[in-house]
Amino acid sequence: MRSSVQARSTVCVPLPQAAATSRAYANGQAVTQAWNATVTSSGSAVTARNVSYNGALAAGAGTQFGFLGW
Protein backbone atom coordinates (compact mmCIF):
# COMPACT_ATOMS: atom_id res chain seq x y z
CA MET A 1 0.00 0.00 0.00
CA ARG A 2 1.02 3.60 -0.52
CA SER A 3 -0.59 6.61 1.05
CA SER A 4 0.06 10.33 0.78
CA VAL A 5 -1.65 12.99 2.91
CA GLN A 6 -1.65 16.71 2.23
CA ALA A 7 -2.51 19.27 4.93
CA ARG A 8 -3.11 22.94 4.23
CA SER A 9 -3.84 25.88 6.53
CA THR A 10 -6.95 27.57 5.18
CA VAL A 11 -7.16 30.15 7.94
CA CYS A 12 -5.62 33.61 7.99
CA VAL A 13 -3.35 32.85 10.94
CA PRO A 14 -0.46 30.40 11.32
CA LEU A 15 -1.08 26.92 12.71
CA PRO A 16 1.59 26.47 15.40
CA GLN A 17 0.44 23.05 16.61
CA ALA A 18 1.63 19.61 15.65
CA ALA A 19 -0.59 17.42 13.52
CA ALA A 20 -1.36 13.72 13.83
CA THR A 21 -3.50 11.24 11.99
CA SER A 22 -4.35 7.67 13.01
CA ARG A 23 -5.60 4.59 11.25
CA ALA A 24 -6.23 0.97 12.20
CA TYR A 25 -4.89 -1.80 9.96
CA ALA A 26 -5.79 -5.46 9.71
CA ASN A 27 -3.54 -8.06 11.33
CA GLY A 28 -0.28 -8.45 9.49
CA GLN A 29 -0.37 -5.06 7.77
CA ALA A 30 2.44 -2.70 8.68
CA VAL A 31 4.05 0.59 7.68
CA THR A 32 7.53 -0.09 6.32
CA GLN A 33 8.66 3.42 5.27
CA ALA A 34 7.51 6.98 5.90
CA TRP A 35 8.51 10.43 4.67
CA ASN A 36 7.94 13.79 6.32
CA ALA A 37 6.36 12.02 9.32
CA THR A 38 7.22 9.97 12.38
CA VAL A 39 5.13 6.80 12.39
CA THR A 40 4.38 4.76 15.50
CA SER A 41 2.16 1.74 16.01
CA SER A 42 0.47 -0.09 18.83
CA GLY A 43 -1.32 -3.27 17.85
CA SER A 44 -3.33 -2.47 14.72
CA ALA A 45 -3.34 1.31 15.37
CA VAL A 46 -0.84 3.38 13.37
CA THR A 47 -0.24 7.09 14.06
CA ALA A 48 1.67 9.53 11.82
CA ARG A 49 2.92 12.76 13.42
CA ASN A 50 4.70 15.75 11.97
CA VAL A 51 8.48 16.01 12.14
CA SER A 52 10.30 19.07 13.47
CA TYR A 53 10.33 21.00 10.19
CA ASN A 54 6.65 20.62 9.19
CA GLY A 55 4.66 20.88 12.43
CA ALA A 56 3.80 24.57 12.19
CA LEU A 57 2.19 26.01 9.07
CA ALA A 58 2.08 29.66 8.07
CA ALA A 59 -1.27 31.04 6.95
CA GLY A 60 -2.11 29.51 3.58
CA ALA A 61 0.86 27.10 3.69
CA GLY A 62 0.73 23.34 3.29
CA THR A 63 2.74 20.21 3.85
CA GLN A 64 2.47 16.57 2.95
CA PHE A 65 3.62 13.24 4.29
CA GLY A 66 3.23 9.68 3.25
CA PHE A 67 4.08 6.09 3.93
CA LEU A 68 4.52 2.69 2.34
CA GLY A 69 3.45 -0.60 3.83
CA TRP A 70 2.07 -4.04 3.19
Which neighbouring-strand residues pair with 6? 64
Domain boundaries, the chain: 2-69
Q: Which helix (H) or strand (E) holds 67?
A: strand 62-69
Q: Of 17, 14, 12, 4, which Cα lies nearest the Cα of 50?
A: 17
The tens place of each residue's pLDDT in the chain, 70 residues long, gives 777 877 777 776 555 566 666 777 777 788 889 999 888 888 888 888 888 888 888 878 888 888 888 8
Note the pLDDT of residue 12.
66
The answer to whether the CB of 15 falls within 8 A of the CB of 57 is: yes
Note the pLDDT of residue 16.
59
Architecture of domain 2-69: Sandwich (2.60)
pTM above 0.95, yes or no: no
Q: Is 33 left (phi over 0), alpha (psi -120 to 50) or beta?
A: beta
